[in-house]
Amino acid sequence: MSGHFETYFPDSGSVDYADQSTNIDETTMAELRELAGRYPQPRSALLPMLHLVQSVDGRVSPRGIEVCAEVLGISTAEVSGVATFYTMYKRRPAGKHHVGVCTTSLCAVMGGDILLERAKQKLGIDENQTTPDGQISLERIECNAGCDYAPVMTVNWEYFDNMTPAKADELLDRLQADEEVVSTRGATITSWKEAERVLAGFPDGRADEGPSAGHASLRGLQIAKERGWSAPDKDTLPAPAEKEADQ
């Protein structure tokens, strides 16, 4: 069926071969080989290698496909087959900052749908597009494992929790103006490319930023502390015989 099909996820297709630009150099090649060397079998490094390609080229570039194939000794078809399977790999340049709005059921009903619509209007772009100045790209994302902070947004894969239209507006304004932005449960926002480099396996030294946990993660723990609840003490467990009698 080839006609128009309405979907929330309209993007599909292959890597953009019309854009052959690349920044991949000898340093990148050395890092790609280093990644391949970290695994018992080199091909296991393909996902991290594609993250690294994105950190250098801002997308999965045709040259990126070639160099991954070259380093791993597999075909470019095998690499692009992988690159087009996973949603984090972008076929067109992402923005300096990549913004996600969760619209899986819970976030959607709790406000995610409204947040996404507003973001599109405010930025003047559709989903999977980048603002003309290259500053922000926008994506409808799926459940990002932060449901107790719904509705959730992300910037460069850092959490922005309990979002409201006002908070989202301010966030987008600050990102557009290159002002400092800090994740609700994470570090100071750098850029999507720098995030991709960390995901590839090259740490950026920011692990100690941010809190140990967000407020919702601590909810049960706080109640337990207030009410004096805890796991049993292993030294004062009831004897097994008594336990059986209780049952």
Partner 1 sequence: MTDLLTPVLSAHWGEDNSWKLSRYEANGGYEAARKALDMAPADIISLVKDANLRGRGGAGFPTGMKWSFVPQDNPNPKYLVVNADESEPGTCKDMPLMMATPHTLVEGIIIAAYAINSHTAFIYCRGEVLHIIRRLQQAVREAYAAGYLGKDIFGKGYDLDIIVHAGAGAYICGEETALLDSLEGRRGQPRLRPPFPAVAGLYASPTVVNNVESIASVPSIIANGKDWFASMGTEKSKGFTLYSVSGHVKNPGQFEAPMGITMRQLIELAGGIREGHELKFFTPGGSSTPILTAEHLDIPLDYEGVAGAGSMLGTKALQVFDDTVSAVRTALRYVEFYKHESCGKCTPCREGTWWLVLLLMNFEKGIATQGDVDKLLDIADNIGGRSFCALADGAVAVVTSFIRHFRSEFEAGTHTPAWELFPYEKSAVFAEEGAVR
Query: Residue 131 or residue 159: which is nearer to partner 1 going by CB?
Result: 159
Q: Does 88 bind partner 1 (CB under 8 A)?
A: yes
Q: Does 166 bind partner 1 (CB under 8 A)?
A: yes
Q: Find the binding residues for partner 1 in span 91-130 (CB under 8 A).
A: 100, 103-106, 108-111, 113-114
Q: Does 153 bind partner 1 (CB under 8 A)?
A: no
Q: Find the binding residues for partner 1 in span 14-33 (CB under 8 A).
A: none
Q: Find the binding residues for partner 1 in span 53-82 (CB under 8 A).
A: 72, 81-82
Q: Does 156 bind partner 1 (CB under 8 A)?
A: yes
Stretch that binds partner 1, among 13-21, 125-133, 171-179, 194-202 (CB under 8 A): 194-202
The count of other CB atoms within 10 Å of the CB of residue 133 is 9
Q: How many CA atoms lie within 13 A of 28 on its CB side?
A: 21
Q: Does 230 bind partner 1 (CB under 8 A)?
A: yes
Query: Residue 133 or residue 246: which is nearer to partner 1 going by CB?
Result: 246
Query: Residue 132 or residue 232: which is nearer to partner 1 going by CB?
Result: 232
Using the rule CB under 8 A, which residue among 127, 151, 153, 171 binds partner 1?
A: 151
Q: Does 247 bind partner 1 (CB under 8 A)?
A: yes
Q: Are 127 and 117 in contact (CB under 8 A)?
A: no
Q: Could you give the CA distance from residue 153 to residue 171 in angstroms, rounded to a whole number?
A: 10
Q: Given CA atoms 121, 122, 124, 128 in this order, what sign does their dihedral have?
A: negative
Angle between helices 76-83 and 46-57 (to 10 degrees): 80
Helix/strand/coil percent split, the chain, to 5: 45, 10, 45
The count of other CB atoms within 10 Å of the CB of residue 212 is 7
Using the rule CB under 8 A, which residue among 128, 129, 135, 144 binds partner 1?
A: 144
Q: Are 140 and 127 in contact (CB under 8 A)?
A: yes
Residues of the binding site? 102, 107, 143, 147
